[in-house]
A = this chain, B = another copy of it.
Amino acid sequence: MFSFEVMTEDGKARAGNLVTSHGSIKTPSFVSVGTLASVNPLSVDELLNIGTQVIIANAFHLHLQPGEDVINRRGGLHNFMRWDRPLITDSGGFQAFSLGARKEARSGKIASMSNDKKFKGPGVHTEKEKPSISVDEDGIKFLSYIDGSERNYTPERIINIEKKLGADIIMMLDECTSPFHDYRYTKEAMARTQRWSLRALEEFKQASSDGQALFGIVQGGIFKDLRLEGARFLAEQDFSGYAIGGFLGESKKGMHDILDLVMPLLKKDKPRHLLGIGEIDDIFEIVERGIDLFDCIFPTKLAKTGTVFTKEGKRYRIHLLNSAYRYDTRPIDESCKCYTCMNYSKAYIRYLFKIKDSFAVRLASIHNLSFIESLMRQIRVAIMEKRFSELKREWLRDT
């Protein structure tokens, strides 16, 4: 089962309802990142309390470990990780990219999401470096980071892996180019991704999809004509929804410009997922441009360092290790209704960070994810009440 309905539009922002076999998602929605089939360090019960609607895991990593067969024997990813609400699997295109892109990446999405040391090939590796990955018409070949074995990843194969995993929404295999790829290579890669999309669709239709929905992915790097062409092409194909992936530019303005171009070309009645973006100011900008789903590692990544969200903090953050909080018996945010804020003081959580107790990260993660879910609820209500730009102004006034 898969359906999507836009309930209200407020400018280009939309409030919708996405229905899957594992329940519905009110959009626009944050997608919690559970790359390895776990939203570390939280339990699924904690996620349910937080209000998490949907999790994105990664077929590439799960294929390498523990393997789709281990998960399939347990009845699929939902059962394996005991999450019976909506699940997405990404295909691993970005992973091919981050294994492949070069280390000069400095800014934006890449710098924040990838380990510099992993930036090698394809096409941009230095003479000395043997790339751990190669891309050709057939698909992606790479060496497993688990055991060094050679792996072959084709558009058809990833569909079959994702079918075994059984997520509600699955992504096609794409080639996610890096900011160091030039126009010519990016164009070539995008054309190849288009051919892969047709192969993925074909394979997807071969066997019963068990209610799964396949999303196509728009690539094209920072090149506007390529993004336009990619979006136009995908809109003609029979995908259930769209994802926008890859590098969108060095600046946030660059990302906004590309979204401004791409979004009008996608079919309005299909959901759009922006992959890997979602700082708090980004959320307003992307929702304003019609994004329905987005995933971002920031809330849990910041939590690991003791940085927690508050509306008043600089860039919506405060750092709990700050000595100002040593005696602070108040919660992180007095208006927050999350488990952390209802129960624990800043002083206690700060102390747990000081003694490196892992419960600290858990409490901070619960707060940060709850904060985002609460913001998304406010955004959905604002769209339904046609006052999204007012809410945006209220939040972004100081930035």
Q: Verify if A382 is at the interface (C-beta below 8 Å from B).
A: no
Q: Verify if A12 is at the interface (C-beta below 8 Å from B).
A: no
- Could you tell me which residues of chain A, from 36 to 74, have a CB within 8 Å of some CB in chain B? 36-38, 40-43, 65-66, 70, 73-74
Flag if B40 contacts A351 (CB, 8 Å): no
A40 to chain B minimum Cβ distance, whole angstroms, is 5
Which bracket fits the contact residues of A? 20 to 34
Flag if B327 contacts A65 (CB, 8 Å): no
Query: Residues of B contacting A357 with CB < 8 Å?
Result: 36, 38, 40-41
Query: Residues of B contacting A322 with CB < 8 Å?
Result: none
Given contacts A73-B327, A82-B343, A345-B74, contact A65 B358 (CB under 8 A): no
Residue of B with least CB distance to A40: B357
Q: Verify if A352 is at the interface (C-beta below 8 Å from B).
A: yes
Q: Verify if A380 is at the interface (C-beta below 8 Å from B).
A: no
Flag if B361 contacts A66 (CB, 8 Å): no
Query: Residues of B contacting A343 with CB < 8 Å?
Result: 82
Flag if B326 contacts A36 (CB, 8 Å): no
Flag if B358 contacts A70 (CB, 8 Å): no
Query: Residues of B contacting A347 with CB < 8 Å?
Result: 66, 70, 73-74, 80
A37 to chain B minimum Cβ distance, whole angstroms, is 8
Q: Verify if A359 is at the interface (C-beta below 8 Å from B).
A: yes
Flag if A38 contacts B359 (CB, 8 Å): yes
Query: Residues of B contacting A41 with CB < 8 Å?
Result: 41, 357-359, 362
Contacts A/B (CB < 8 Å), 10 sampled: A41-B358, A43-B362, A70-B326, A70-B327, A70-B347, A73-B347, A74-B329, A80-B348, A82-B343, A82-B348
Residues of A within 8 A of B (CB): 36-38, 40-43, 65-66, 70, 73-74, 80-82, 326-327, 329, 343-345, 347-348, 351-352, 354-355, 357-359, 361-362
